[in-house]
């Protein structure tokens, strides 16, 4: 079964910490051990895991991506969001996290970020939990 987590972004480019939402969904599923797959079904938004403790880290990542793929830099794609597509490919569309003792096994400073590159929009994250047989 796939659970859908709805994410509402409020600006064009934004990293939204969804760790709490994923943990809540994991608790509801009641799985103690396994793998949590998170997949973003969009072409201008992605997902990544990085530092959640210091908010300047996500700001620096967004600014670095803007330097790699600046807005309106003479792209072929005529929709005006070619930079959003490129940034999405750079961060990727999925992450996998191990589950032990009913909890996500993340590093001390890690958070799961939904990465908006063409907001504001209402978006989806697909979540699938694979239970490990004991
Ligand atoms: Zn486009």
**For the domain that residue 68 is a member of, what is the CATH number?**
2.60.120.460
Give me Rg for the CA atoms of the chain: 16
**CA neighbours closer than 13 Å in the CB half-sphere of residue 49:** 16
Whether this model's pTM surpasses 0.75: yes
Rounded distance from Cα 80 to ligand 1 centre (Å): 7
How many domains are contained in the chain?
Answer: 1
Domain enclosing residue 120, as ranges: 2-131
Rounded distance from Cα 98 to ligand 1 centre (Å): 33
> How far is the C-alpha of 16 from the C-alpha of 32, rounded, in Å?
26
Q: What is the pLDDT of residues 63-86, one digit of tens each?
A: 999 999 999 999 999 999 999 999
Q: What is the pLDDT of residues 108-129, one digit of tens each?
A: 999 999 999 999 999 999 999 9
Q: Are 95 and 38 in contact (CB under 8 A)?
A: yes
């Amino acid at each position: 079964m796939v659970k859908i987590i709805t994410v509402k972004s409020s600006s064009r480019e934004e990293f939204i910490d969804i760790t709490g939402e994923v943990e809540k969904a994991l608790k509801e599923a009641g799985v103690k051990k396994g793998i949590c797959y998170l997949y973003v079904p969009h072409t201008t938004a992605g997902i990544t895991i990085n530092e959640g403790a210091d908010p300047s880290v996500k700001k620096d990542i967004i600014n670095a991506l803007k330097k790699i793929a600046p807005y309106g830099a003479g792209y072929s794609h005529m929709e005006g969001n070619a930079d959003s597509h490129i940034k999405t490919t750079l961060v990727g569309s999925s992450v996998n996290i191990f589950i032990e003792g009913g909890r996500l096994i993340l590093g001390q400073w890690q958070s799961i970020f939904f990465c908006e590159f063409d907001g504001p929009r209402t978006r989806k994250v697909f979540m699938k939990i694979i239970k490990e047989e004991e």
